[in-house]
Amino acid sequence: MGVLQSRLFTDANALCLDDELVDDTSKKLIRDKKLDVTKRLELAATVDPQHILNPQRGAHVRMIHRALIKLRNAPPITVDGSNLPEEEVEAYNRMISDLRKAPQISESELKSTTYGPTTAAVVKAYKVSRDIRRTPKSAVDNVVGIQTTRALDTDLIIADGRPIPPRPAPAGKPQDIFIRFNPIANLAQEGQEDPVTFQEVKKAFDTEEYRRSHKELRIITFFGGRGPKDPSDRAVQIAELTRSTTPAGKTIIVGASAGGFSVLNTASKLTARGIAISFVGIADGGFFVDSTPSDIEKFGTPPAFATPPTIRLPGGITADETLNVFQTFGLTVLGKKSAPNDQGIAPGAEWYGEMTGFNNQRLTPQNNATLGALQRKFAVFPGDDVDRTLVVRKKFFSDPAHVEAVAEGERRIGTIVKRLLAPDEDEE
């Protein structure tokens, strides 16, 4: 017996066969037992990566359409008629009213059984009314995941006038995932696994006290990498396998310097797969303007770099919490005077900057003592804008600024990670 108990969801296969909007191919697959719509809905109600969202289409989306339409058209209930507490009756009736006020799902999405923008809008209206969020501090999204599928199931039971049966007990302990991409000291490390950091993380967080309330911490550690050496696909594969067996738990992705690129790639890939991310943290991630495509955004006409630079994200990233600690002093000291390129910076230099949608915290000579001391020394440095001093400027000014930003960024990121991976105090 699954967790879903409303007739619309448990009888989804039979209902799809009688539904004129379900295509013939899907019906044949259902008859041949090659497609189980109820099982697909069960996955949405139990497994994080199996969310239902834009731009999916098919019989399972049709069941979500029907659920929302049924609730929109459902009559209000009373305390006496439903045997529910007054506050639950009021919340249910308010949900019906909120759905009626929301725009309806478009005819084109209904006919094509597509989870498009109008479906997403109605889902969001439902979730706002029911206050369904990943965490109490998260914004309401438009995805049908575990909480939303189960809430729809319960509301459908109420709409049928049936008593709400007890749910099966939740399965087991949660399993947190910690993904870390480290800076590289030499090219041989690029994209390789990092067993030393693995052991450090395990010793610090995967403690006996932590295990009382959680499964073993899933630790994924690599050095950062670019191109074919980027380890993000391997990290994503491990995270997906973990969430396929244990949907509950926090997912944390952090990194520094050369690891920043892999952090963004991993976060965007997990977001695209519907895997919830608790925290993404980057300490002075190093990016390059001469990569293809460039890691740095240009704006305006003619296109120009922003101040501070804006890092190009590889895709959409959704996380409950983010932190990007960076500095730009180490970039400005590498100004190139003769035959300047369009950046006015030494070719091949690492760039650091803001990330759209992130909590960006910029370290400057005014708010960081180490950078302030470097700036004062640089102010009296001879030849601060000629090519022959580039190597010296990098060694004595740019590199130390980067090292300081990585250290300060990791300190701030570490505070958040400790909070997220703290053992539950209320567990016996």
The tens digit of pLDDT for each residue in 251-281 reads 999 999 999 999 999 999 999 998 999 999 9
- Assess whether pLDDT exceeds 70 at residue 168: no
**159, 190, 223: which is the final residue of a domain?**
159
pLDDT confidence of 426, banded at 50, 70, 90? Answer: very low
Share of the chain above pLDDT 70, in %: 94
Contact indicator for 287, 205 with CB cutoff of 8 Å: no
**128, 159, 190: which is the final residue of a domain?**
159
Query: Which burial class, exposed, middle or buried, applies to 317 when counting CB atoms under 10 A from its CB (0-12, 13-18, 19+)?
Result: buried
CA distance 288 to 294: 7
So what's the pLDDT on residue 222?
96
What's the whole-model pTM score? 0.62
Same domain flag for 151 and 208: no
* 289 domain-assigned: yes
- Assess whether pLDDT exceeds 50 at residue 13: yes
The tens digit of pLDDT for each residue in 29-74 reads 999 999 999 999 988 887 766 789 988 999 999 999 999 999 999 9
DSSP 3-state of 52? strand
CA distance 337 to 326: 25
Contact indicator for 167, 3 with CB cutoff of 8 Å: yes
Same domain flag for 245 and 344: yes
Structure tokens at 309: 């630079």
CA distance 5 to 152: 10
Same domain flag for 190 and 137: no
CA distance 124 to 105: 12
Length of the chain: 428
Mean pLDDT of 146-171: 81
DSSP code of residue 388? G
CA distance 171 to 184: 40
The tens digit of pLDDT for each residue in 130-142 reads 999 877 777 899 9
Contact indicator for 119, 92 with CB cutoff of 8 Å: no
Same domain flag for 216 and 155: no
Query: Which burial class, exposed, middle or buried, applies to 55 when counting CB atoms under 10 A from its CB (0-12, 13-18, 19+)?
Result: exposed
Looking at the DSSP assignment, which residues form a beta bridge with residue 351? 287
* 318 domain-assigned: yes
Contact indicator for 327, 372 with CB cutoff of 8 Å: no
Same domain flag for 150 and 198: no
Same domain flag for 66 and 198: no
Enclosing domain of residue 141: 7-159
CA distance 290 to 262: 17
CA distance 415 to 428: 25
Contact indicator for 330, 401 with CB cutoff of 8 Å: yes
So what's the pLDDT on residue 288?
92
Query: Which burial class, exposed, middle or buried, applies to 174 when counting CB atoms under 10 A from its CB (0-12, 13-18, 19+)?
Result: middle
Same domain flag for 106 and 194: no
So what's the pLDDT on residue 31?
94
Same domain flag for 54 and 189: no
Q: Which residue has the higher pLDDT, 314 or 135?
A: 314
**131, 159, 187: which is the final residue of a domain?**
159
The tens digit of pLDDT for each residue in 324-344 reads 999 999 988 988 776 555 667
* 56 domain-assigned: yes
pLDDT confidence of 104, banded at 50, 70, 90? Answer: very high
Same domain flag for 86 and 144: yes
Contact indicator for 49, 277 with CB cutoff of 8 Å: no
pLDDT confidence of 427, banded at 50, 70, 90? Answer: very low
